[in-house]
Amino acid sequence: MTTQSLRWPGGPLGGTGRLPASKSEANRALLLQRLAGGGTLANLSEANDTVLMARLLNEAATTDLLDAQDAGTVMRFMTAYLAVTGWRGTLTGAARMKQRPIAILVDALRALGSDITYAEQEGYPPLIFGGQPLAARTEPAELAVRGDISSQYISALLMVAPMLPGGLRLRLTGEIGSRPYIKMTLKLMRHFGATATETKRDEIMVQPGGYRPADYTVESDWSAASYWYALVALAPAGASVLLPGLREKSWQGDHVIQIIMRPLGVETEFLADGSGARLTQIPAAPAPEGAPTTDFTDCPDLAQTVAVVVAALGRRRRFAGLHSLRIKETDRIAAIQNELRKFGADMPEVEPGVFEVQPGTFKVDGQTVETYEDHRMAMAFAPLAMRGPLLVHEPQVVRKSYPSFWRALAAVGIQVA
């Protein structure tokens, strides 16, 4: 049990924010590289999830027990990969992973002919793979999959689809969450030589034929960049930070943080040489009457960060599209509510599926933030150091996606102890 203190000594915030590479891109690229049989990947993420993904892809050839730990993308992507390659063994995970549903993906893979059973609770990991290859057929397999739970199920199915003898016609049903992540998957698949077409808004056709080796350089992570946007927004006047490695035309859905944060006082300028972006604090737009609504359906990983910023700025805002946050590393909605209350704010559900940040008498004065074994809780609340001293409990959780986060904050002058 460890606790870390954060404090800003005063004055404008400046310098360079060192970002990790995108683990979303990296984990997809690792799987596609393996299915393609080659290619060089540059700027792979240092995140534990990516290191773990690379290791499990290697270990699958020599062991019958794999542990995805607490990594959702690793569990979902490896499930599809192990099914399509006819692996025999058990894929398990951490205690929290065993509480995260996976039945939608397993049911789809079973429909394609895979032999997968549950070792413990029905619908949840661990999974037992019987080693049976997916059914051979000349016509496209057809699946209908719900899109309102996790886009990672959909991405997992899409990435293995070119390996099916007849390809795959995938129809998405219901509300589609995190659609930009599906589009990222399709773009990376095409980069590695697959033919995948969105024939209709909610239907994707993937042709058979596999992949071909390709090189790819992973972009810096826009989800990680969101914490720097928060720091600039909450810093004393005159803040400006350089973020290397961000692309103006990004495949990552979380690049919308630049749009969300502009009215909250952060301007984004992409460097002419394409090497990154500079964030500059500008006067925030006048607070609108009432509580405007922001829909996070396509960018749920930004919700915690934005909730903290608007509360600290004394603004009301409604948040929609948060349904997937219930099944992340923790119940992120409950976690945000609990921790905002420590600072005088709240985020009650004001109508079904809609939550309103109510700033109350927001004050930062030495509170301890619980992290709930969730990396994004630690990093979303850390920017409050710009408004006063605070403590972060179990700060090492950032290793999941941004292991150098605390060192990066210290490098721009935040006192981390």
CATH label of the domain that carries residue 66: 3.65.10.10
Q: Which of 325, 232, 320 is nearest to 282 (CA)?
A: 232
58 by DSSP, 3-state: which?
Answer: helix
Contact 105, 80 (CB under 8 A): yes
* 255 and 400 fall within a common domain: yes
Contact call for residues 185 and 26 (beta carbons, < 8 A):
no
pLDDT per position as a tens digit, 196-254:
999 877 899 999 999 999 999 999 999 999 999 999 999 999 999 999 999 999 999 99
Domain count, the chain: 2
Question: Same structural domain for residues 82 and 209?
Answer: yes
N-term to C-term CA, the chain: 15
248 and 391 share one domain? yes
Cα–Cα dist 90/64, whole Å = 6
User: What is the Cα–Cα distance from 237 to 242, expressed in whole angstroms?
Assistant: 16
Query: What residues form DSSP beta bridges with 294?
Result: 319
Question: Which pLDDT score, from 0 to 100, does residue 326 have?
Answer: 75
Last residue of a domain, one of 185, 217, 249: 217
Domain boundary among 175, 191, 217: 217
Same domain, 302 and 412: yes
Asked whether residue 205 falls in the same domain as residue 339, the answer is: no
Does residue 363 surpass a pLDDT of 90? yes
Residue 327 has what pLDDT?
Answer: 63
Q: Which residue range is the domain that position 46 belongs to? A: 23-217
Is residue 148's pLDDT more than 80?
no
Domain boundary at 174, 200, 217, which? 217
Q: How many CA atoms are closer than 13 Å to the CA of 1, on its beta-carbon side?
A: 1
Tokens 């057809």: give the residue. Answer: 142
- pLDDT tens-digit series, residues 279-321: 999 999 998 888 999 999 999 999 999 999 999 999 999 999 8
pTM comes to 0.90
Task: List own/partner pairs for 261-267 with CB under 8 A and 24 or more apart.
Answer: 261/229, 261/230, 261/233, 261/306, 261/309, 264/233, 264/309, 264/310, 264/313, 264/315, 265/232, 265/233, 265/313, 266/229, 266/232, 266/233
pLDDT of amino acid 209: 94
Known active-site residue 301:
yes
Which residue in 70, 301, 365, 374 is the catalytic one? 301
- Tens-place pLDDT, residues 31-65: 999 999 999 999 998 889 999 999 999 999 999 99
Distance (Å, whole) CA 124 – CA 148: 18
The three-point CA angle 126-54-44 to 5° equals 135
Q: What is the DSSP secondary-structure string of 163-195?
A: GSTT-EEEEEES---SHHHHHHHHHHHHHTT--
* Residues 298 and 332: beta-carbon distance below 8 Å: no
- Whether the pLDDT of residue 177 is over 80: the answer is no
Question: Strands (DSSP E) along 201-255, which ranges?
Answer: 203-206, 216-217, 240-244
Say whether both 269 and 411 belong to one domain. Answer: yes
